[in-house]
């Protein structure tokens, strides 16, 4: 007796959450050119959102203005969105290129994990896969990438593949000119590379 063929699953809606870190009372770090981190992350979120929307990706953002939003609220927004990826956007003057951080929680069964602050344990394996896909796509786009794991308030409460993406100036060896965070061309390059990387993740997510 032939096994019943499962009907093809309908293409799930692909949703990305963009979490512009800091905002309002929390300026984040001070960046070159008297920029604040909170303004940089919001600008990157807006730019990335339009690049993704243009490619048919649904985007949910945690903030659209200079608002104070605590990490619990950010996680609530991400979890409600049932996203295939959440990127929490940060910026720093230290290091080089793009730093990708996954939660340092040890992987655990996703089933029945609902404990706030450790919910990401059920998703860490997927988050590390996301980091791997973004890493190769960003390298392909010519970015310098550093991978790490750390405690991530907000992300540790998220029930989706989630990473902190920290943008630093680019000062890779072999590049004669350092790309500063306040360089509009560099900002555009970072957003384009991240959008391309998320498209790659969508492609991988659709593989059976």
User: What does the alpha-carbon distance between residue 99 and residue 35 come to, in Å, rounded to a whole number?
Assistant: 19
**φ, ψ for residue 170 (rounded to 5)?**
-100, 120
Min separation Cβ 161 and Zn ion, Å: 20
Residue placing its CB nearer to Zn ion in the complex, 43 or 196: 43
Q: Which is nearer to Zn ion, 36 or 120 (CB)?
A: 36
- Which CB sits closer to Zn ion, 164 or 193? 164
CB of 29 to Zn ion, least distance (A): 6
CA distance 128 to 114: 20
Nearer to Zn ion, 63 or 90 (CB): 90
CB of 10 to Zn ion, least distance (A): 37
Between vectors from CA 193 to CA 191 and to CA 197, what angle results, nearest 5°?
A: 115
* 110-169: contacts with Zn ion (CB under 5 A): none
Q: How many residues bind Zn ion (CB under 5 A)?
A: 3
Taking alpha carbons only, the member of 46, 47, 158 closest to residue 113 is 158
Distance CA 172, CA 206 (A): 34
Of 7-15, 88-96, 97-105, 173-181, the window that binds Zn ion (rule: CB under 5 A) is: 88-96
90 in contact with Zn ion (CB under 5 A)? yes
**CB 122, min distance to Zn ion, A:** 25
Q: Is 28 in the site for Zn ion (CB under 5 A)?
A: yes
CA distance 167 to 190: 8
Work out how close the CB of 30 gets to Zn ion at its nearest, in angstroms, rounded to a whole number.
11
Which residue number, 90 or 126, has a Cβ lying nearer to Zn ion?
90
Contacts 24+ apart (CB under 8 A), 36-40: 37/90, 37/91, 37/92, 38/66, 39/66, 40/91, 40/167, 40/181
Candidate segments 10-18, 54-62, 74-82, 83-91, binder of Zn ion by CB under 5 A:
83-91
Site map (CB under 5 A) of Zn ion, residues 8-27, x = contact: -------------x------
Residue count of the chain: 208
Minimum Å distance from CB 199 to Zn ion?
Answer: 25
Per-residue burial over 27-48, b if 16 or more Cβ lie within 10 Å, else e, is: ebbebeeebbbbbbbbbbbebb
For 113, other C-beta atoms within 10 Å of its C-beta total: 14
Residues that bind Zn ion (CB under 5 A): 21, 28, 90
């Amino acid at each position: 007796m032939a096994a019943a063929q499962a009907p093809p699953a309908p293409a799930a809606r692909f949703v990305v959450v963009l979490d512009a870190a800091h905002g309002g009372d929390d300026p984040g770090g001070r960046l070159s050119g008297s920029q604040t981190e909170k303004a940089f992350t919001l600008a990157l979120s807006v730019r990335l959102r339009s690049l993704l929307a243009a490619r048919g990706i649904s985007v949910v953002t945690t903030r659209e203005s200079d608002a104070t939003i605590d990490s619990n609220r950010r996680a609530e927004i991400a979890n409600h969105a049932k996203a295939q990826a959440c990127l929490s956007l940060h910026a720093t003057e230290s290091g080089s290129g793009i730093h990708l951080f996954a939660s340092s929680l040890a992987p655990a069964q996703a089933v029945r994990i609902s404990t706030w602050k450790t919910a990401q344990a059920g998703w860490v394996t997927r988050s590390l896969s996301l980091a791997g896909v973004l890493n190769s796509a960003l390298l392909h786009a010519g970015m310098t990438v550093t991978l790490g794991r750390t405690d991530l308030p907000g992300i540790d409460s998220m029930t989706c593949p989630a990473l902190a993406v920290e943008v630093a100036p680019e000062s890779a060896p072999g590049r004669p000119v350092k790309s500063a965070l306040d360089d509009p061309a560099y900002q555009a390059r970072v957003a384009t590379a991240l959008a391309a990387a998320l498209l790659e993740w969508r492609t991988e997510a659709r593989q059976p």
